[in-house]
Structure 1
Amino acid sequence: MHYWNDVLLEIVRREGGDILDLTIVNRMVTQMRNDRDGSENPRVYVGDDKPGAWRPTSYPDMNDPGCARHSQAVTPFWGEMKPFALTSGSQFRPPTPGLYGTYEKLLAGDAYKWQVEAVRSAGADKPTARTPVVNRTPDQEAAAWFWANDEDGTYKPPGQLLQATRDIATAHKLNTYANARLFALVSIAMADAGIAVRDVKFLTPVDLWRPVSAIREGGLDPEWKPLLKNRAGINFNPCFPAWASGHATFGAAWAGVMKRYFNSDDIAFTMTTDDPRSLVKARSFTSFSQAAREDADSRIWLGVHFPWDAEDGLVLGDKVADTCSARSWSRSSSRLLPARPRLLRCRAGGATTSDADPEPRPRVPGPITAAAPRPTKRAGRHRRAPSGPGAANPARRPGRSRGRRRSAPYRRPATVRRDRSVKCEASGLLAGSGLPQAPSSHLGDAHSRIGSSFGHISAPIGVAPSGLADGLHEPGGRRVENAVGLLMPRQRVTQGA
């Protein structure tokens, strides 16, 4: 039963790799690189000059060379990409754009007028002749800059949330496998959130213009500017439509995964920021939902989003998180994450526990010796240990006929012999005496690719699990206390496993 487990651990130890790279990460990275079509779409955005439709936000007093033409819209067709967990980018498309259908109907509604006035007073950079009052508290302004991370050179919204994931995982002392699964779920949810929100921004009947366009070109205040500024102090806007908010969608997707993973929303934690203009470098929250809500509202306080952008983003992100968390990632289907392997921790005194067992289960007593013979395998029967005088009375095997008896459990030697008769078939995953290098940085690479094509992450972020087999044996082959092993079925390991 422990045969392939020991073989895998021994190969990983010799090659300097990681068991999670072998069993999970390589497969996910390969699937991401090979099956995600659309990330290099060369098409450019063709704009509509109707009032209400998105247009470039470069003005004489807000010069932005990166957003002076419709064709500079950032990743307008990202919503057509194939998601990881969703069936399509439009699976959870909010109904709000479809309720209006045309820009004329949208601008004539009272709801739209209220939206414009809300961001006009809360998101202005400073008072003007036509907007004499700015209704924003100092704490709201601090939160607006804390969550911004809009400029290149920052770790952008997903990077900020991955940093928070790492800090929370460290605080809760998650083990290697729990860490890897949490980061996989968070990353998949945010990757699909990026696809879903781009669908709303560009592929619905309404590509909504930014508040600065609505206020200036709508004739309300030609001097109005949003609070958001770049490092040079020039006010600017993200170069894509307002509806719905990407920050809100990412934040809700992250919070949704976190509260489902920890089975609680009421977990206190502290987050950090990478935005150079933020005077507050850390903010504390009492729940994941509280952080997501502040993330969404911060875009209104920055003057770059309407309130319904935030609301629809929160709903959209939570639906994405629910789908990613609820799916059973099994090897029997085309889903992403394999079923959770069984981790055993060997304790002194001959007891083993798994992370699924609350109490230790006693092992069959008996010394582990390197001289233990390999069992023979008879056709149609399970393995047997040598029998003879003094052998323990075998117990019945549950579910078997009364005539079949189970022999004493086979005890694997403490070390694995480097025997050429041991054949590991893996179509390139395991072959002969070793496996190809599978550096643990693949997990960080997977994180760094999430949204990278549309500027959401500028550097690898995340925790790459490593050292799972460290401390399994001391020199000389003696098994040490608290070693960790991965039980796998006694079968050939294939690339799809």
Structure 2
Amino acid sequence: MQPADPEPSLTTGGKSADQYNGDVAIQWAALQLKITKTTPGFTPPVASRAYGYAGVAMYEAIVPGIINRKSLAGQLQGLTSLPQPEQSKTYNWALSANAAEAAILRSLYPNTGTPNKASIDSLETALQTAYKDADETVNQRSADFGKKIANALFEWSKTDGGDAGYTRNFPASYIVPTGAGLWQPTENGQKIPMLPYWGQVRTFVKANSDLPMPKPLPYSTDSKSATFAQYLDVYTKSKNLIQTEKDIAVWWADNPVETFTPPGHSYSIARIAVLTDKASLAKAAETFARTGIAVADAFTLCWRCKYTYNNIRPYNYVRLAIDPAWIPFWPAPPFPGYPSGHATQSSSAAIVLTAIYGENFAFIDNSHVGRARDVLRNVDFKARSFTSFLQASQESADSRFYGNIHTHQDNETGLAEGKKIGANVNALAWQK
């Protein structure tokens, strides 16, 4: 890797990025969440990658205007350098962020529908109008810089192995491993599991790629084994779910198409944190960058582990070893079980958000308020309150146990690995 370009000094003549409110970042995050929900092929791993690049674009478009923060160029894998602003020239950092987000979303979601493309255009125009300076030269210079950042980052993204992942969620060429204890189709009948090669995607942070892979318990159907006990717990819970646990299972389910996916839920919580804190543009952009990187790397490593061990889902194990007629509360996703993607990504996001906002940051998660009642499961979508990000991540993990999709082992491993991933994101040199 070549060294990054020298860090520029803060440009002069205008406001720093800390002096703008976070509205530009908040509105673009909201639009990306909507686009993810309504664009074909944006399964959780694919979506996590998009949040990662969009978060980095937001941050890099304004970091020359943040007094005490530095670029991630030279720190993220394969990102050797980025365009630099003109020295001693004035920039409007709100317009730089605005242009960068518009450009990166157009690139990351080329297959999205006409209404979403129109929404990108209209939001870009509205924010350009709302935040423009009297000096049109400053406006143009700022927007041009944001576009250059987005274009450079998109070119970099093409080299990570995940480009256009939305086109190959279920590759027909994949040969499904068979054998005792290995994944097999569940109740949805999907014969090819989702994104079996996603673990090969380049992580943003090298230290994450270097993490040792955790091993699951050895497979056994012996009723006295630790593995049997794991799946028996899932089966037992399915027989005595209380309403609160059903509410939690449905709230965190975050199925693609119906929602903005599990990593989108973490990105939504990041947005809620920005709103709750009334964060500046600088703090908001760092929030989305850290969260995006954390959930993207979490899904890559989680998928690497899933397809190394190809662990059987509770749906199949319970029917094989405990109750042939068992029906879980929530249908199993079409990919191996160990470890839990929910637990891994929500934990990694919680760690980076805690680093920014503190251990005792209370917030209300209203991510799904307004959704129609789940009549089948007798659940309404009511906002949930938390006293910390880690508390929310624990509930996200628990939700998969309540849904009878994951064992405790899946969740505990995911939470532990997610903390390591988030810590490595925090360990980047964010501060000058």
TM-score (norm. length: structure 1): 0.55
Aligned residue in 2 for 1:156:
261
Q: 1:260 is aligned with what amino acid?
A: A
Aligned residue in 1 for 2:389:
288
Q: Is the 8 A contact 1:296 1:310 kept in 2?
A: yes
Deviation at 1:16, TM superposition (A): 7.5
CA distance in 1, matches of 2:336, 2:182: 8
Q: Is the 8 A contact 1:86 1:192 kept in 2?
A: no
Q: 2:407 is aligned with what amino acid?
A: F
Q: Is the 8 A contact 2:91 2:139 kept in 1?
A: no
- 3-state SS, counterpart of residue 241 of structure 1: coil
Aligned residue in 2 for 1:57:
186
Q: Which one of the candidate residues 140, 147, 166 is aligned to 1:15?
A: 140
Q: Which one of the candidate residues 252, 266, 275 is aligned to 2:360?
A: 266
| CA RMSD after TM alignment | 2.6
Q: Is the 8 A contact 1:216 1:222 kept in 2?
A: yes
Mapped pair 1:114 → 2:229: yes
CA distance in 1, matches of 2:139, 2:381: 47
Aligned residue in 1 for 2:350:
255
Deviation at 1:5, TM superposition (A): 3.6
- 3-state SS, counterpart of residue 89 of structure 2: helix
Deviation at 1:6, TM superposition (A): 2.8
Aligned residue in 2 for 1:86:
206
Aligned residue in 1 for 2:7:
none
Q: Is the 8 A contact 1:169 1:179 kept in 2?
A: yes
Deviation at 1:52, TM superposition (A): 1.2
CA distance in 1, matches of 2:389, 2:254: 19
Between 40-49 and 191-200, report the one with greater CA deviation.
40-49
Q: 1:281 is aligned with what amino acid?
A: K
CA distance in 2, matches of 1:56, 1:140: 26
- 3-state SS, counterpart of residue 284 of structure 1: strand
- 3-state SS, counterpart of residue 215 of structure 1: helix
Deviation at 1:301, TM superposition (A): 0.4
Deviation at 1:19, TM superposition (A): 8.3
Distance 1:108 1:327, change over 3 A: farther
Pairs aligned (count): 295
- 3-state SS, counterpart of residue 217 of structure 1: helix
TM-score (norm. length: structure 2): 0.63
Aligned residue in 1 for 2:312:
209
- 3-state SS, counterpart of residue 185 of structure 2: coil
In the TM superposition, what whole-angstrom CA distance separates every residue of 1:22-79 from its partner, at most 9, and x where no partner exists? 68555444422x3312454757432233231110013xxxxx25x1x1xx20001101
Which residues in structure 2 correspond to 1:18-97 (within 5 Å)?
18=143, 21=146, 25-32=150-157, 34-39=158-163, 40=165, 44-58=173-187, 64-65=188-189, 67=190, 69=191, 72-87=192-207, 89=209, 91-94=211-214, 96-97=215-216
CA distance in 2, matches of 1:286, 1:313: 21
Deviation at 1:181, TM superposition (A): 1.1
Which residues in structure 2 correspond to 1:160-179 (within 5 Å)?
160-179=265-284
Instruction: Give the fraction of aligned pairs with identical amino acids, expressed as a percent.
Output: 28
Deviation at 1:116, TM superposition (A): 1.0
Q: 2:198 is aligned with what amino acid?
A: W
Mapped pair 1:302 → 2:427: no
Bigger proportion of residues as helix? 2
Deviation at 1:92, TM superposition (A): 4.1
Distance 1:114 1:108, change over 3 A: closer
Aligned residue in 1 for 2:95:
none
Distance 1:88 1:289, change over 3 A: closer
Q: 1:225 is aligned with what amino acid?
A: I
Q: Which has the larger radius of gyration?
A: 1
Distance 1:326 1:179, change over 3 A: same
Deviation at 1:265, TM superposition (A): 1.4
Q: Which runs of 5+ in 2 are unaligned?
A: 1-10, 14-86, 93-134
Q: 1:214 is aligned with what amino acid?
A: Y
Q: 1:117 is aligned with what amino acid?
A: L
